[in-house]
Amino acid sequence: MPDLDRRRALRQAASVSVATGLYGISFGALAVTAGLSTLQAQALSVLMFTGGSQFAFIGIVGAGGGGLAAAATATLLGARNALYGAVVSPFLQVRGLRRLAAAHVTIDESTAVSTAQRDPQTARLGFWWAGLGVFVLWNACTLVGSVVGDALGDPRRWGLDAAAGAAFLGLLWPRLAARRAQVVAAGAVVVALALTPVTPAGVPVLAAAVVAVVVGWRIPAAASRATVEDT
């Protein structure tokens, strides 16, 4: 592979790792203020290792939801990683233990960096460096964040409860380009808020996912190509 392409892939992997790692600090801090121990926060970053799902997990627990609702929401939010696996596995060409490792680092960032490359060799390089780079920095920063969060005391005094909403908005923002996504987002908020006073914590968020399934399933086939491209 040309040296230039190789260097560009490594540079992209590095910048994505640093940026993602930094918001690991906010994850760690929010995890302990949601009531998790430092070890539990770290276990999520090592074992679950998919940012959106981890934020969702602590969001549900922090709101007083049960463990089952938290785990189910995290799993549903991680469903997109299966699609990423299908995208990257043809050029990764890995078997056995390496495939088990590749699956663990199949996340938004590694998929984005690898699919931005021009040839399979550079794509593989981008995938592994972004995946492993994010893994190392995300975990280191989770630890920093959870120690800092523990030391801060009352989370409300520091506005950390507001930071959680902003974190979800930050994860949502890049996915709102398409009109249909905006409609689903608005519908999901309405459903979740309407159910909040009448259902146990955690249920409103899961129920909102039903909106997406209904809308996504019922779009006529003719509209589907455009939809996939803009969502």
- Site for another protein, residues 63 to 92, rule: CB under 8 A: 63-64, 66-68, 70-86, 88-90, 92
Contact status: 222 vs another protein (CB under 8 A): no
Q: CA-to-CA distance for 214 and 207, rounded, in angstroms?
A: 11
From candidates 40, 115, 121, 139, binder to another protein by CB under 8 A: 40
- Span interacting with another protein, options 2-10, 113-121, 132-140, 213-221, rule CB under 8 A: 213-221
Contact status: 197 vs another protein (CB under 8 A): yes
Scanning residues 41 to 60, which ones bind another protein (CB under 8 A)?
43-44, 47-50, 52-53, 55-57, 59
Q: CA-to-CA distance for 29 and 113, rounded, in angstroms?
A: 27
Supply the minimum distance, in Å, between the C-beta of residue 161 and another protein: 6
Site size for another protein (CB under 8 A):
104
- Identify the three-state secondary structure at position 117: coil
Scanning residues 112 to 171, which ones bind another protein (CB under 8 A)?
156-171
- Based on CB atoms, which residue is closest to another protein, 2 or 153? 153
- Identify the three-state secondary structure at position 11: helix
From candidates 140, 143, 148, 201, binder to another protein by CB under 8 A: 201
Supply the minimum distance, in Å, between the C-beta of residue 130 and another protein: 15
Supply the minimum distance, in Å, between the C-beta of residue 9 and another protein: 21
Matching residue, tokens 């905006």:
182
Residue 106 falls in which region: left (phi positive, over 0), alpha (psi -120 to 50) or beta = beta
Supply the minimum distance, in Å, between the C-beta of residue 122 and another protein: 20
- Based on CB atoms, which residue is closest to another protein, 136 or 162? 162
Q: CA-to-CA distance for 120 and 25, rounded, in angstroms?
A: 33
The tokens for 58 are 């602590």
Supply the minimum distance, in Å, between the C-beta of residue 120 and another protein: 15
CA neighbor of 21 nearest in space, from 126, 107, 100, 134: 134
Supply the minimum distance, in Å, between the C-beta of residue 188 and another protein: 4
- Based on CB atoms, which residue is closest to another protein, 7 or 68? 68
Supply the minimum distance, in Å, between the C-beta of residue 10 and another protein: 21
Amino acid letter, 164: A
Q: Which long-range contacts (CB under 8 A, 24 or more apart) does 126-129 make?
A: 126/9, 126/10, 126/12, 126/13, 127/88, 127/92, 127/102, 128/102, 129/9, 129/10, 129/13, 129/14, 129/17
Q: How many CA atoms lie within 13 A of 193 on its CB side?
A: 6
Matching residue, tokens 């309407």:
194
